[in-house]
Amino acid sequence: MSRARPLGIDVGGSGIKGAPVDLDKGGFAQERFKIETPEVSTPEAVCDVIAQIVDRFDEVHDGSPIGVTIPGVVQHGVVKTAANIDKSWIDCEIEKLLEDRLRHDVVVVNDADAAGVGELHFGAAKGQKGLVILTTLGTGIGTAVINRGVLVPNSELGHLELGGIDAETVTASSAKTREGLSYEQWAERLQRYYRHLEDLMWPDLFVVGGGVSRKAEKFLPLLDLRTPIVPAVLENAAGIIGAAVLATQIQEARGRHLD
């Protein structure tokens, strides 16, 4: 058996995916395992699926941490928002729930934050010393803000108000699909969003993730920004890898604090 690897688990709307991560190479140590997200995706139902994924990879049971992503704000192990998930998640003590179920150290983080950290260490933002903002364009818009290599968690900049409207409701890739927008039409909305974001934050780099980033050549060249904007490199692996990185970092910090 190979030496222990931290396990990353990414909870999404359609699937829950996990894999042990090689933190030296920034890739999966074993093939990713995916289970469909339960139709009624309460915390308890999702925990059942997470437990199946953990059981699949027995090498995590010798001290390596488990990192789990959730599409919502997570503060001190408690879920605070549920914009695109079941409302029963709000105020759920998810870290305690998982640790009681799994009997293992668990760190739960926002999904966009995990993707941003993955890209910082192994992807499009690697080596960037300034302010990086990653956006995930999917059902909504998730964001990760990383300044000089340090994550500022739970930024939620997808909910900026533009013209009295929550930006993600008309700018996420789901809006493009729902309204049948061309890439040119969608780019007009993206232009407004990213220009507003750069005027507020003055980042050194935008990284664009989410499934639609695989077609970045169809819309990123249409944007006129002063900030460099590039597609994510890790694609759907970013959340799993970033969750494993954050779980390891947080576990080590907790250990130093206890010492």
162 phi, psi to nearest 5 deg: -125, 115
pLDDT band at 222 (very low <50, low <70, confident <90, very high): very high
Percent of the chain with pLDDT over 70: 95
pTM, two decimal places? 0.93
> What's the confidence (pLDDT) of residue 258?
43
> What's the confidence (pLDDT) of residue 88?
95
> What's the confidence (pLDDT) of residue 61?
56
> What's the confidence (pLDDT) of residue 256?
56
pLDDT of residue 13 exceeding 90, the answer is no
In the predicted model, what is the mean pLDDT of residues 90-119? 96
Of the candidates 251, 101, 85, the one whose C-alpha atom is nearest the C-alpha of residue 93 is: 101
Percent of the chain with pLDDT over 90: 86
Alpha helices in the chain (DSSP H): 43-56, 94-102, 111-122, 167-171, 173-179, 183-201, 238-258
User: Considering the chain, what is the average pLDDT of its residues?
Assistant: 93
Considering the four listed CATH numbers 1.25.40.10, 3.60.21.10, 3.30.420.40, 3.30.460.10, the one that applies to the domain covering 7-113+237-258 is 3.30.420.40
In the predicted model, what is the mean pLDDT of residues 92-100? 96
Can you give the residue ranges of every domain in the chain? 7-113+237-258, 127-232
pLDDT digits (tens, 9 = 90+) for 112-129: 999 999 999 999 999 998
pLDDT band at 62 (very low <50, low <70, confident <90, very high): low
Of the candidates 249, 257, 254, the one whose C-alpha atom is nearest the C-alpha of residue 117 is: 249
Q: Which residue has the higher pLDDT, 232 or 63?
A: 232
pLDDT digits (tens, 9 = 90+) for 30-50: 999 999 999 999 999 999 999
Class of domain 127-232: alpha beta
CB atoms within 10 A of CB 38: 14
**Under 8 Å between Cβ of 207 and 242:** no
> What's the confidence (pLDDT) of residue 2?
46
- Token reading at 252: 């080590």
Q: Is there a shared CATH topology between the 7-113+237-258 domain and the 127-232 domain?
A: yes
CB atoms within 10 A of CB 136: 28
pLDDT digits (tens, 9 = 90+) for 132-174: 999 999 999 999 999 999 999 999 999 999 999 999 999 999 9
Chain centroid to CA 65: 17
pLDDT band at 4 (very low <50, low <70, confident <90, very high): low
